[in-house]
Structure 1
Amino acid sequence: MVQYEIRDYYQSKNRAKQITVQLMATGSHMSNSFGFRDSKGFQPFLSGLKGYRNVYAAQAFEPVGEPVVQTLYGDVVPCLKNESEYYIYPSSFNTAEYPSVLDIPLSDPDDASWKFEWPQEMQSIDDCYWFLKSASGGSREKDWYKRPKDAALLFGR
């Protein structure tokens, strides 16, 4: 679980973006890297992401690391790179609203008490939330990430 913010500098002719990345949780036996793909390829922000932190209900939340800030230029796409060199993006879950499954808001300006809670280790996001379709069986709702299907499967912080 990675929290990130992209600030576009619209006045900049070189389309600069200041990107801040904060690691929130890890859940893998493989070593992963998180970064952004731009015109130059994969630009890593966080590397050596391995182990199980902040992903089990019995664990108390503990900060994993300090924020990392870099400046990139042009179009950027968040992606995860695992040790087999496979870039995990895009996916069949992508929509125009969520071009990458990594893009889930972490706060709501209309509800300051709400924060996204991520699935515990070994839990499918569709078991935790109404991710693939709505509770009524129709299309996935725009703010699906606000209504857990089973809150017991989530990691709260």
Structure 2
Amino acid sequence: SNSAMTAILAASVIALFDATIQQIVALAVLMPIVAGMGGNAASQTMTVTVRALATRNLDIHNAWRVVRREAGVGLLNGLIFGVLIGVCAGLWFQDTSIGGLIASAMLINMMAAALAGILIPLLLDKIGADPAVSSAVFVTTVTDVTGFFSFLGLATWWFAIG
């Protein structure tokens, strides 16, 4: 099934960084936060987008304006939630680097979530697929893969692991 394939893809991304996770256990604790927050943001955007497509409030004429607006919302959400979660994680693990890493990964993933939440349903609609049925699995994959890759990739780079 598509869900199994996307879960395997996300697990494969995590496996790329097994050495990093072994050295910094806090990353394993925080990974679900990055992916979960991205998934929540993407689901919200996707739901609004699918409804707007169904009610014909979103079409090719206003799509780019809406995409730009959602990108701005993603940026703002990424900054706000990134700082909040970054401060909490930094205090929790008594490590400002961990806080900065999760804040940066949150910003990246919230932007990806906003864009995936609107662009994937638009693309599916354009090719004649029902975005209400097909969007969720693709959007979840984008936020999981982007969240894990950005968080673990930044950590590997920052701590010069590997």
Q: Could you tell me the TM-score, scaled by structure 1's length?
A: 0.23
Question: Normalized per residue, which structure has more strand?
Answer: 1
Question: Normalized per residue, which structure has more helix?
Answer: 2
Task: Using CA pairs under 8 Å that are at least 6 residues apart, name the structure with larger relative contact order, 1 or 2.
Answer: 2
